[in-house]
């Protein structure tokens, strides 16, 4: 009698609002099928997202370039932020599909959108996605199609519908549709979507046998088509056998063997420094090495007592560990020592960090933070020996990325207000607080840190590009200014002219020439015309003795005045100053035409005897030097080695320096433009000046290669020399 389900599970009340409609009431047994399936699907989705980070990180690790790598890191971040919404959206659609079973009409229901192609040629991304979904659905149907058919028959018998497998809410087609629709707001590339579909198949669709078996069993228990033959259990047996095989198979992979070979080579180099991590009690043959797990526990204990930044200089990890081992030995009554392999790792990490903290390329403000990472890095190296052989190891990359991002830190940067410093401090504190024995935390922190630094890098690159554009424009203006100066000096030097005309040419007409040079170049007809106008103006205010000069002046003046007005209009010259000049020019022309001694004496004249130098708006112009350096000069060779993006340090005094990056080399003027880490211009040098500063040590090129790799190579070099000396 009570076939209508009116009890909704509390945890699904918000999702199943559609059940309030009379048409949407489902039989109680179908609610049980739905809720049981939803529980399994939710678990599968959780596994999917739990493993998505690792999968995407591995893809980023194998990326061919930085752009592709950033795609995967951005996807990791986006997925982490939207995970809950996707899970909720998937289950909402799943519940709505069950509600729709009471109103199913085969004549009005279409296939899921993911399985349909448009009548016109679809986009490549849609085609790839559709092919992937069709393949996944085909695999499920081939594997569990028999059980799905039985489930569909039982649903039809229960509801009196003619449902097919493709519209069954538990069918693979519908499950794929729910997942894609729930994730439609993910801003990721198609390659990432295809990876997520693979994960969906691995963690959700892989367990459809159990999904269909439990649903069929529930319906069978209530008497729905009991005569149907049950699905064979062959897959369960196969899965169990595969599980046993995977547990029993411990054959080392080629990659594992390579890691062991590298670590064995490191141990040979470290033989001569063994014995530095032992208890103060005299070691004997009865000394017992502690296990790696116990060592990790001791390190985790020390990790909680890593001192604050101000006290880092007094913290010696090996000494602290030795004291802790001594206390353990006294307490147990037995001499406890660190095993040989673990001691090698401790010594190697200690030497690497000593090298890092002595590295002049690392900002002093960063060294104290890096020093606090020594125990977390040691623990991950103890857990995973590939830490030394794999440069892409998440822990190594995290340290390298931190050092790279902070390369431009200055001595006077305010750490409290610096967002990058705060973010690095948060990373360090998170590792000290949360890292016990699961290295996955490094992948998570690396992805977050890369997402943060990529935003900062985009902002600085935008500023750098604007700076380069501005500097290129200034360089063109500088070249044009020099060309105008030459034209003015060629026309004026040695001439005796009225002061007002010299002032007009120098202050007004030079701007006309500058604009023409920038717009059209000095080989253009416009440039020649403006130069000719200047020459005509100079000729027109000079006295000429030949009788035809007056007729020539009268013929010249109308065109000259028009050319002058047009030129002044093009630079938006002050109209009042223009009117005043033309009045003076008219008076000068009248006096020239009078050709009298009185008029000549009444006109003040000056001789242009000095080179004209036009003012420049570049307040920070590069200093000029008359020094000429030989081609093989050591400073010039250093300048030649600088590339765009190279970091240098300018010595400001004995204690402080300014770190900046080479952002632009302006070939036209020979300028080298340097910016700080935010992209703001801070220094400008000529090639020669920069060479001189490099030669005397006022400027120092910084090594911006990978910090950990650089330190490790330095330590290994020292060990090789030590061994060869013995």
> What is the per-residue DSSP string for 57-73?
HHHHHT-SSHHHHHHHH
Cα–Cα distance list, 333 to 281, 301, 327, 340, 474 (Å): 10, 21, 10, 21, 78
Percent of the chain with pLDDT over 70: 82
Selected residue with higher pLDDT from 165 and 237: 165
* 57 and 205 together in one domain: yes
Query: Residue 636: inside a domain, yes or no?
Result: no
Query: Residue 696: inside a domain, yes or no?
Result: no
Residue 334 near residue 685 (C-beta atoms within 8 A)? no
* 225 and 268 together in one domain: no
Among candidate residues 396, 423, 438, the one where a domain is terminated? 438
Q: What is the pLDDT of residue 412?
A: 53
Percent of the chain with pLDDT over 90: 28
Cα–Cα distance list, 109 to 166, 176, 663 (Å): 11, 17, 61
Query: Residue 645: inside a domain, yes or no?
Result: no
310 pLDDT higher than 70: no
Among candidate residues 572, 607, 642, the one where a domain is terminated? 607
The alpha-helical segments, DSSP class H, found in 249-310 are 254-270, 292-303
- Give, for 457, the enclosing helix (H) or strand (E): helix 440-492
- The lowest-confidence range among 24-28, 161-165, 249-253, 720-724 is 249-253
Q: What is the pLDDT of residue 461?
A: 84
The residues near 535 (Cβ < 8 Å, ≥ 6 apart) are 491
Output 680-683 pairs: Cβ under 8 A, ≥24 positions apart. Answer: 680/463, 681/467, 682/658, 683/650, 683/658
Q: In the chain, count of helices (H) and strands (E)?
A: 26, 9
Query: Residue 484: inside a domain, yes or no?
Result: no
* 158 and 261 together in one domain: no
What is the number of domains present in the chain?
Answer: 3
* 190 and 50 together in one domain: yes
527 pLDDT higher than 50: yes
* 351 and 265 together in one domain: yes
271-298 mean pLDDT = 68
494: region left, alpha or beta (phi > 0 left; psi from -120 to 50 alpha): left
Domain extent for 67: 10-240
Q: 10 Å Cβ neighbour count for 536?
A: 16
Task: Quote the mean pLDDT of the chain.
Answer: 81
Query: Residue 446: inside a domain, yes or no?
Result: no
* 260 and 229 together in one domain: no
Selected residue with higher pLDDT from 26 and 683: 683
Query: Residue 704: inside a domain, yes or no?
Result: no
Q: Band of the pLDDT at 235, cuts 50, 70, 90?
A: very low
Residue 342 near residue 270 (C-beta atoms within 8 A)? no
Q: Give the sign of the dihedral formed by CA 641, CA 643, CA 645, CA 650.
A: positive
* 273 and 208 together in one domain: no
- Bridge partners (DSSP) listed for residue 659: 649
* 390 and 290 together in one domain: yes
Q: Give CA–CA dist 152/169, Å, rounded.
A: 10
* 155 and 223 together in one domain: yes
* 331 and 298 together in one domain: yes
Q: Give CA–CA dist 6/625, Å, rounded.
A: 91
Q: Which of 647, 678, 670 is closest to 362 using CA atoms? A: 647
Q: What is the pLDDT of residue 244?
A: 31
* 196 and 291 together in one domain: no
Q: Give CA–CA dist 439/64, Å, rounded.
A: 24
- What is the model's pTM? 0.56
Query: Residue 281: inside a domain, yes or no?
Result: yes
* 117 and 15 together in one domain: yes
Among candidate residues 410, 438, 466, the one where a domain is terminated? 438
Query: Residue 652: inside a domain, yes or no?
Result: no
58: its two tokens: 């591995």
């Amino acid at each position: 009698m009570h076939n209508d389900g009116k009890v909704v599970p509390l945890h699904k009340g918000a999702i199943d609002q559609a059940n309030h409609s009379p048409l949407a009431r489902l039989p109680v047994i179908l609610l049980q099928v739905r809720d049981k399936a939803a529980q399994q699907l939710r678990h599968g989705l959780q596994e999917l997202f739990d493993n998505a980070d690792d999968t995407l990180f591995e893809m980023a690790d194998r990326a061919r370039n930085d752009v592709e790598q950033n795609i995967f890191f951005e996807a990791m971040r986006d997925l982490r932020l939207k995970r809950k919404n996707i899970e909720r959206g998937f289950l909402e659609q799943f519940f709505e599909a069950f509600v729709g079973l009471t109103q199913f009409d085969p004549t009005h229901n279409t296939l899921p959108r993911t399985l349909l192609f448009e009548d016109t040629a679809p986009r490549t991304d849609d085609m790839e996605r559709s092919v992937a979904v069709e393949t996944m659905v085909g695999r499920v149907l081939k594997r569990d199609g028999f059980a799905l058919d039985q489930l569909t028959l039982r649903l039809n018998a229960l509801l009196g519908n003619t449902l097919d497998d493709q519209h069954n809410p538990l069918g693979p087609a519908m499950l794929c549709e729910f997942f894609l629709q729930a994730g439609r707001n993910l801003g990721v590339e198609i390659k990432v979507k295809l990876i997520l579909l693979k994960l969906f198949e691995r963690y959700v669709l892989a367990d459809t046998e159990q999904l269909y078996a439990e649903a069929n069993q529930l319906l069978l228990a209530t008497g729905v088509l009991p005569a149907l033959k049950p699905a064979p259990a062959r897959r369960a047996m196969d899965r169990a056998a595969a599980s046993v095989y995977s547990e029993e198979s411990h054959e080392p992979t080629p990659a594992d063997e390579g890691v062991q070979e590298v670590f064995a080579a490191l141990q040979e180099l470290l033989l001569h420094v063994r014995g530095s991590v032992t208890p103060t009690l005299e070691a004997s043959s009865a000394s017992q090495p502690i296990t790696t797990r116990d060592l990790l526990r001791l390190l985790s204990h020390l990790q909680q007592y890593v001192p604050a930044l101000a006290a880092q200089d007094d913290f010696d990890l090996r000494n602290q560990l030795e004291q802790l081992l001594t206390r353990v030995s006294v307490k147990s009554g037995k001499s406890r020592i660190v095993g040989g392999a673990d001691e090698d790792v401790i010594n190697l990490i200690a030497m690497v960090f000593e090298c890092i903290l002595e590295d002049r390329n690392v900002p002093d403000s960063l060294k104290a933070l890096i020093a606090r990472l020594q125990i977390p890095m040691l623990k991950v190296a103890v857990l995973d020996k590939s830490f030394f052989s794999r440069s892409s190891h998440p822990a190594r990359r995290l340290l390298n990325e931190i050092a790279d991002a902070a390369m431009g830190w200055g001595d006077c940067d305010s750490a409290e207000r610096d967002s990058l410093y705060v973010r690095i401090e948060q990373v360090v504190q998170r590792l000290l607080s949360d890292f016990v024995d699961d290295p996955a935390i490094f992948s998570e922190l690396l992805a977050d840190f890369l997402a943060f630094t990529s935003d900062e890098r985009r902002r600085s690159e935008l500023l750098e590009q604007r700076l380069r554009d501005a500097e290129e424009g200034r360089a063109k203006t500088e070249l044009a200014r020099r060309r105008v100066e030459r034209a003015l000096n060629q026309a004026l030097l040695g001439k005796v002219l009225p002061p007002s005309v010299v002032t007009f040419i120098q202050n007004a007409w030079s701007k006309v020439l500058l604009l023409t040079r920038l717009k059209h170049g000095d080989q253009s007809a416009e440039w020649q015309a403006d130069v000719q106008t200047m020459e005509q103006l100079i000729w027109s205010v000079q006295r000429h003795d030949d009788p035809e000069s007056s007729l020539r002046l009268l013929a010249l003046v109308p065109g000259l005045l028009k050319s002058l007005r047009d030129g002044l209009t093009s630079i938006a010259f002050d109209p009042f100053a223009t009117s005043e000049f033309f009045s003076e020019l008219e008076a000068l022309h009248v006096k020239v035409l009078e050709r009298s001694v009185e008029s000549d004496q009444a006109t003040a004249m000056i001789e242009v005897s000095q080179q004209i130098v036009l003012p420049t708006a570049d307040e920070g112009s590069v200093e000029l030097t008359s020094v000429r350096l030989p081609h093989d000069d050591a400073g010039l060779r250093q300048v030649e080695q600088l590339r765009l993006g190279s970091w240098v340090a300018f010595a400001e005094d004995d204690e402080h320096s300014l770190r900046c990056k080479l952002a632009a080399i302006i070939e036209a003027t020979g300028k080298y433009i340097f910016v700080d880490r935010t992209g703001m211009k801070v220094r400008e040098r000529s090639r020669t000046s920069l060479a001189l500063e490099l030669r005397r040590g006022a400027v120092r090129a910084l090594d911006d290669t990978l910090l950990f790799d650089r330190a490790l190579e330095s330590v290994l070099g020292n060990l090789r020399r030590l061994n060869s000396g013995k």
